[in-house]
Amino acid sequence: MSESENFDIVVVGAGIIGVATAYYLQKNNPNKTILLLDRYLAAGQANTAMSAAAVRNMFASSTNQLLTDTTIKFIEHVQEELGYDLFFEKCGYLWLLSDSQFNSESVQMWMKRMEASGIHYKAYDKQQLKEMMPGLNVDFQGSEEAELMNLKEVSYGLFGGDCGVLDPTRYVEFYLEEFRKIGTVKPRYGVNVESLILEADPKLELPGEPFVWQNKRVIGVKTDKGEIRAECVVLATGAWANELLDPIGMNSKTKVKKRQMFVVHGAENEGLKQLLSTKGFNEVDMCPFVIMPSAGVYFRPQKQEQGFWIGCGDKLGREYKYIQTDDDLVPESAYYENSMFPVLSAYFPDFATTRPVNSWAGSYCYSPDAIPFVYYENGVLVANGASGSGIMKADAMARIADALYRGLPEAELYGGKKIASETLTIKKRNVEIESVVI
Amino acid sequence: MSESENFDIVVVGAGIIGVATAYYLQKNNPNKTILLLDRYLAAGQANTAMSAAAVRNMFASSTNQLLTDTTIKFIEHVQEELGYDLFFEKCGYLWLLSDSQFNSESVQMWMKRMEASGIHYKAYDKQQLKEMMPGLNVDFQGSEEAELMNLKEVSYGLFGGDCGVLDPTRYVEFYLEEFRKIGTVKPRYGVNVESLILEADPKLELPGEPFVWQNKRVIGVKTDKGEIRAECVVLATGAWANELLDPIGMNSKTKVKKRQMFVVHGAENEGLKQLLSTKGFNEVDMCPFVIMPSAGVYFRPQKQEQGFWIGCGDKLGREYKYIQTDDDLVPESAYYENSMFPVLSAYFPDFATTRPVNSWAGSYCYSPDAIPFVYYENGVLVANGASGSGIMKADAMARIADALYRGLPEAELYGGKKIASETLTIKKRNVEIESVVI
């Protein structure tokens, strides 16, 4: 047998889910040795850093509502009560909707379900929106371009005041610092996990093991720096889960698309400056995170750089593809110019004279129902498939992962709410399909 | 624009799902031109021909029960009433179960759900099984080997008398002949569909189309023999759905594993001859399809060749992998010898002196809930993900596909039972997770 190191738990992936899970596992299992691994040279450098870094509790499924609402409340607690600045700004989310969208069965159901769960939101009409956001174009009447582009005219705004934006790196660092305070093992970076080691249990030392009639479990990971054995391997690898699970015959059930973000600065533009400091929606006199009624285009205010991050939840026409090389992560300027920019500047004409000053791309990891997976099977504790909302679900997912590890029937989320530990598993999954996906 | 042929519907894949769907579409839409395509040189030559070609209605989910029960009744109708011999033998399925398996929550639930749906089954105890199948070993007491191999001792048998085996090629030919009687377009073989053509609708003839703000739909397929346009593209490609859907950003939600079948002849073996003509289970005095309590090993009687097809529903340890080359389809003799054979010969010692005379491998296409998908989005009518049971669900799936094509809220299955047409879609999916998967 080759030499290998031993730990009780190895956490693969130091993105937001990985660091949060490592922290709760260590906190509630103080005698366990927990090694946190990442292939990048620091924590939170991969898709966590590439995200829009916004948090919302405005979901339609009660599961996502619970996961995000408790996580956001924890984020507030960290910043307000623990005094750890996450640059969390409660600017809110604003969905701009056409008349037919607002009155559709799915939006009406969404609102009803938010009310049932006590998720705060407010509906604004066109007139109110126009007054609060003078730069918003709510009148496409007679515009041939708008018709050609299938742009739906804004009639309503659905606003969630408990939503906001934060700095993902700060949030990763919070968990990491807390984890390092109580942990005994130093996290390791620049370590690439190449495969999970699946072994017969018990091992018979026969050639060709494991056979189909043997019990099997994952007993560690093979990395580019050697083998590491652990009683439990936590997989917090997000978009890369398939690379490790497929070869041992576990189905991650997730799939990946590229997503891109383009940065536009507003300091030199009167209209955008005014938009950035939009009043009336929130207590911080800031522009909310805004989702346009058409084509999935959205923007997020970025206060520190006086700008906006512009993204697009494109669906049909954007290939599913595992992102494996740096080439896959090059943002496409033609995509911004031809697909996103025309939509953005039709609704907010002040953007018409701007150009992106920065851009990046990452991987978006879809689960089949847009609800995350947290399950513990065959020695692997998987926490992934957050479907574009890992940051806003991280705290809840990590607590559920820890409850599964400890064999508890329920996990206690921040604020005391409980959830059955098996809710997000594959085998005992008990969730509604999420319909409000960006 | 390049020259291309035009049809109303093009059906990609002439496996059992493809031919059944082509038939019902043509029957109920007599004025539509329907082109059936396959990359092999005849219909039903790919995974349909590689399957165990057995049919069962013994499922735990009411959806799978309905799909299979109506399809099996249709198969009986074809053979008995239409006089088209499918070599369908109603030999039954026999699940051999240990005491703890039989009394487990999941098996008790399964039985309860079959009763609720009127699925006939019968439970036999160990003594009865031993009398009917003298060659079955129901006593592992003191066997170190059985203990080492985690073999569970047989205590019960769960038998479904409406299940059986058939000739998949005959079944494919039935639909194909019926389709050709009413169709106006000759099926084409040896045509490889390389991609779906996704186009902006309407097309603006601008470079870079389709943009994110444009409506898009699939308007045909690109093949190695040229472009074919159709108002509706039916995807009945089973394990290969991802190759066509991923590039246009549609998620098939299915995943593929290799499955293997090994053939053992019994004519020269007294014990196996006796097993082949087992009496008491069915009216045809034939051995049922038998599933062993351990490791997923099963066998299926093959009357014409006086033998058995032996397979294994292996789970953990068998990689998920798209089967793309002939190399992937080589059966592994070491796998039979080390993994399947020891289990088989422990339960049925008469197999101990036999060796396989033939073997093959194919692709098994898993859906996330082991329930098939049938949905019509963006011009693509997808029917796949039957999760190892395409033959036994084909008739129902094809009727549902046709109902979706015609925009009907319900599909009428054989025998008059109705099912909401959207039951198997992605967006309005309304199914229980299937727990009885081989």
Tokens read off for B188: 């084409």
Chain A residues touching residue B251 (CB < 8 angstroms): 255, 320, 366, 368
Characterise A306 by phi-psi region: left (phi > 0), alpha (psi -120 to 50), beta (else): left
Q: Are A162 and A55 in contact (CB under 8 A)?
A: no
Chain A CA closest to residue B197: A317
Q: Are A369 and A434 in contact (CB under 8 A)?
A: yes
Chain A residues touching residue B314 (CB < 8 angstroms): 212, 249
Amino acid, single-letter form, for residue A107: V
Chain A residues touching residue B368 (CB < 8 angstroms): 251, 253, 368, 426
Nearest by CB to B317, which of A216, A321, A339?
A: A216
Cis peptide upstream of residue B168 (ω within 30 degrees of 0) = no
> Are the beta carbons of A317 and B216 separated by less than 8 Å?
yes
Tokens read off for B215: 């409506």
> Are the beta carbons of B253 and A253 separated by less than 8 Å?
yes
Nearest by CB to A251, which of B150, B320, B343?
A: B320
**Residue A380 confidence (pLDDT):** 98
* Per-residue pLDDT tens listing for chain B (438 residues): 456 899 999 999 999 999 999 999 999 999 999 999 999 999 999 999 999 999 999 999 999 999 999 999 999 999 999 999 999 999 999 999 999 999 999 999 999 999 999 999 999 999 999 999 999 999 998 899 999 999 999 999 999 999 999 999 999 999 999 999 999 999 999 999 999 999 999 999 999 999 999 999 999 999 999 999 999 999 999 999 999 999 999 999 999 999 999 999 999 999 999 999 999 999 999 999 999 999 999 999 999 999 999 999 988 999 999 877 788 889 999 999 999 999 999 999 999 999 999 999 999 999 999 999 999 999 999 999 998 889 999 999 999 999 999 999 999 999 999 999 999 999 999 999 999 998
> Are the beta carbons of A320 and B246 separated by less than 8 Å?
yes
Sign of CA dihedral A274, A278, A280, A284: negative
**Residue A324 confidence (pLDDT):** 75
Alpha carbons B426 and B375: distance in angstroms, whole number: 7
Q: What is the mean pLDDT of chain B?
A: 96
SS3 at position B109: helix
Nearest by CB to B248, which of A204, A210, A317?
A: A317
Chain B residues touching residue A294 (CB < 8 angstroms): 213
B436 CB-near residues (< 8 Å, 6+ apart): B58, B59, B60, B110
- The four Cα atoms A84, A86, A91, A97 give a dihedral, to 10 degrees, of -140
Chain A CA closest to residue B295: A213
Those of residues 126-155 in B touching chain A at CB distance below 8 A are 148-151
- What chain A holds in terms of domains, given with CATH numbers, is 5-52+170-253+369-420 (3.50.50.60), 93-160+255-366 (3.30.9.10)
SS3 at position B347: helix
| DSSP state letters, B38-67 | ESSSSTT-SHHHHS--EE----SSHHHHHH
- The four Cα atoms B419, B420, B425, B429 give a dihedral, to 10 degrees, of -100
Nearest to A260 by CA among A304, A292, A299, A303: A299
**Residue B196 confidence (pLDDT):** 98
Residue matched to tokens 């996906």: A437
SS3 at position B159: strand
**Residue A1 confidence (pLDDT):** 42
Cis peptide upstream of residue A247 (ω within 30 degrees of 0) = no
Q: A153: which DSSP letter?
A: P
Alpha carbons B6 and B188: distance in angstroms, whole number: 14
Chain B residues touching residue A60 (CB < 8 angstroms): none
Cis peptide upstream of residue A293 (ω within 30 degrees of 0) = no
Cis peptide upstream of residue B202 (ω within 30 degrees of 0) = yes
Q: Is A180 exposed, middle or buried (0-12, 13-18, 19+ CB in 10 A)?
A: middle
Chain A residues touching residue B433 (CB < 8 angstroms): 427, 429
Chain A CA closest to residue B321: A246
Q: Which of B149, B213, B323 to mutate to test the interface with A (most CBs of A within 10 A)?
A: B213
Tokens read off for A360: 């990046």
Give A180 to chain B, closest Cα distance, Å.
35
Those of residues 46-105 in A touching chain B at CB distance below 8 A are none
For residue B284, CA distances in Å to A42, B88, B194, B281, B431 come to 68, 11, 46, 9, 35
Nearest by CB to B251, which of A250, A255, A429?
A: A255
**Residue B2 confidence (pLDDT):** 52
> Are the beta carbons of B316 and A248 separated by less than 8 Å?
yes
Give B262 to chain A, closest Cα distance, Å.
15
Those of residues 209-248 in A touching chain B at CB distance below 8 A are 210-216, 242, 245-248
**Residue B1 confidence (pLDDT):** 42
Those of residues 342-371 in A touching chain B at CB distance below 8 A are 342-343, 366, 368
Give B341 to chain A, closest Cα distance, Å.
10
In chain A, how many H helices and how many E strands?
13, 20
> Are the beta carbons of A297 and B212 separated by less than 8 Å?
yes
Q: A267: which DSSP letter?
A: T
> Beta partners for A197?
A220
Q: Are A87 and A170 in contact (CB under 8 A)?
A: yes
Nearest to B343 by CA among B262, B435, B434: B262
SS3 at position A197: strand
Output the pTM of the full model: 0.94
Q: Where are the alpha helices (DSSP H) in A230-386?
A: 241-245, 270-276, 333-335, 341-347
Those of residues 400-419 in A touching chain B at CB distance below 8 A are none
Q: Are B293 and B96 in contact (CB under 8 A)?
A: yes
State the 10-residue block means of pLDDT for chain A, 438 residues long: 83 98 98 97 94 96 97 98 98 98 97 97 98 96 91 97 97 98 97 97 92 96 97 96 96 94 96 97 97 96 95 94 84 96 97 97 93 97 92 98 98 98 95 92
Cβ pairs A/B, distance under 8 A = 122
Chain B CA closest to residue A148: B214
